[in-house]
A and B are shown apart, each in its own frame.
Chain A
Amino acid sequence: MTYEGVPGLVEAVEEYGETTLVVDPARLTEAMTHLRDELGFTFLSDVCGVDYLGWDGKGVAGYIGTAGGRDLNAPGSQGLPKVPRPKPKRFAVSYHLLALREEPARVRVQAFLDDGEAIASVVAIWPAADWFERETYDMFGIVFDGHPNLVRILMDDDWEGHPLRKDYPIGGEPVRFSSAE
């Protein structure tokens, strides 16, 4: 299948037998409508976010109690054999699409975003995206423009922070050992 006609296509990558289409987030709606109507991807399998903070550089704060943060790549390991290829922006939203045909086809659409940058919602194209986008918002704080009900879904309504961000603290609360601290 050829993906050259997809609007806003930045690059198409073939890896591990899977196709990834990196698209311009500003033209996401056009690209998705094209994929559904022209190429037959009627089934939205999944939407999820990835946080690439600290992906190709030194690590970031991962523990609430340390000022400088800790190196995510260092503790308990010998470090990476090589630095991974850089990503254009901090966040990526990955959409996994499926065409229900005799010859099934799958494609991953990826859009890169900076912190605070919003992306268009695809709920109007696939109603299934409703909860998936809410989960991505809840976990990463990525805002989906045009989502009819963008509220938290897994965490409490008054929860602070977005747990799957790489700079979200793990490992509990800092402990004060004396009043002098």
Chain B
Amino acid sequence: MSVTEKTAGAPVMRAPTTYEGTKIPHPIPSVLEPSQELRASGDILEVNFGPNHPSTHGVLRLVADLDGENVVGLRAVIGYLHTGFEKTMEQKSYWKGITYPERIDYLSFQNNELEFVLAIEKLLGLEVPEKATWVRTCLCELNRIHSHLVWLGTAALELGAISMFWYCFRERDRILDLFEMVTGVRMHTRYFQTGGVAEDVPPGFVPQAREFVKVMPGAVDEYEGLVDRNRIWLERTVGVGILSADDAVAMGQSGPILRASGVDWDLRKREPYLAYGEVDFDVPVYSGGDVYDRYRVHMDEMRESTRIVSQCLDRIEQLDGEPWIADDRKVVLPPREELHTSMEALIHHFKIVTEGYAVPEGQVYAVIESPRGEAACYLVSNGGTKPWRVHFRAPSFAATALAPTLCRGELIANMIAVVGSLDGVMGDVDR
């Protein structure tokens, strides 16, 4: 019997941990302040952690007030990666704008691309062909696994589990190979189009993806084998950074953070979009609310996503030869070969690429369950070819504001574990 068989999927048994009242700092919910006496005693050391520090998941600056090794004050300073995506997108036609959202949350690029495309389709009232829906679902789930793998690799790395990084990036590379096969690029694929996807999946995709689906559950067992019974890992994660369900909801948390605090909430089940209403999967929910349970949710979600990918592949195979993009010439680029023979096609192509297509006046809020939780695109259109206003509801933004709540009374070393478990992508936080 291998090591992994003994340890896989066996969560640590313990009594549910929670706390009375609320841990959210008052009066400023995102700033933890030391008490007046402590501040006056002169024993407090203010430490600037970041913005350039290997364990801050990007350019995050944490200003911690330390009393010995205890964190008594904390605030997060963000904005170092602010790029003005929302302003830039107001100057681009919708067609060109699709490239931007995926660079916002650079780990879940396809999910971010999706929310923008869904918002445009909602305004246009555009029907998406079945095949495109299944291809999108498949890629979004692969993307979720990809994002969780990067999270697991880096979060474990920050706690000293260096080998985990190499294991995770091994599988991540297989996913990127699949993306490259379908879209031509490994990251920031810009594959989703208004009305469907840019091209059909290539012939070799399904077999290679099936190989991956076969390998992935065993790989997750292996990751668990590395840390699940590892004394250091457990000491660093169990009972650390506890969050109650009420505090999680009050602070606008979603995704794995919310589900680790005992709230059974997943938009893929609650407000099904794409093909999630038709696939069979479970939503992992844990009640400990600590770093360990957030880790468990991520692990279980990778298994569930693999299940979804497998079901998507079956459907993609069945839908072989079906159209992958809507047949609406006012919005969708005409097939390349028609440009040489049809004047109409040439005109449409030219108009869509230069001027863009007009989107009806209105405002919509397209919400999806990204790997980090509730991610949304708020789109306001004035009826023109460029968005009047685009805003992205970033789950990482809400999660990073939570750091002072979770670090109340923790040791400085645990702060790394807590901030890592929030899975904040700084591109998503700063936009």
Contacts and interface: CB of A to CB of B under 8 A. Distances in A.
Contacts of A100: 249, 263, 265
B94 interface: no
Interface stretch (A3-11, A27-35, A111-119, A147-155): A147-155
B365 A96 contact: yes
A163 B84 contact: yes
B28 A84 contact: no
8 contacts: A94-B378, A100-B265, A104-B270, A127-B251, A128-B29, A128-B398, A130-B29, A170-B87
B179 interface: no
B271 A104 contact: yes
A81 B271 contact: no
B365 A154 contact: no
B401 A128 contact: yes
Contact of A84 (B79, B356, B382, B430): B382
Nearest to A166: B90
A96 B380 contact: no
A16 B249 contact: no
A15 B24 CA distance: 36
Contacts of B388: 50, 55
A181 B130 CA distance: 60
B251 to A, nearest CB: 5
Interface of A: 15-18, 20, 42-46, 48, 50-51, 55-56, 73, 76-78, 80-82, 84-85, 94, 96, 98, 100, 104, 106, 108, 123, 126-128, 130-132, 135, 139, 148-149, 152-156, 163-164, 168, 170
B364 A16 contact: yes
B374 A154 contact: no
A108 B391 CA distance: 14
A17 B380 CA distance: 15
B389 A50 contact: yes
Nearest to A20: B363
A45 B376 contact: yes
Nearest to B401: A131
B31 interface: yes
A126 B252 contact: yes
A77 to B, nearest CB: 6
B362 A128 contact: no
B78 A154 contact: yes
Given A18-B363, A45-B367, A130-B28, 20 more contacts: A16-B364, A17-B122, A20-B363, A46-B391, A56-B382, A77-B385, A80-B382, A94-B378, A96-B376, A96-B393, A100-B263, A106-B367, A127-B29, A127-B250, A131-B30, A131-B401, A149-B31, A155-B79, A164-B87, A170-B87
Interface in B359-396: 361-365, 367, 374, 376, 378, 380, 382-386, 388-389, 391, 393
Nearest to B122: A16
Closest 5 CB pairs of A and B: A128-B252, A127-B29, A154-B79, A46-B393, A148-B27
Contacts of B382: 55-56, 80, 84
B161 interface: no
B29 A154 contact: no
A73 B397 contact: no
B91 interface: yes
Interface string B221-258: 00000000000000000000000000001111000000
A15 B362 contact: yes
B355 interface: yes
B389 A78 contact: no
B330 interface: no
A77 B123 contact: no
Given A16-B362, A81-B383, A96-B365, A51 B30 contact: no
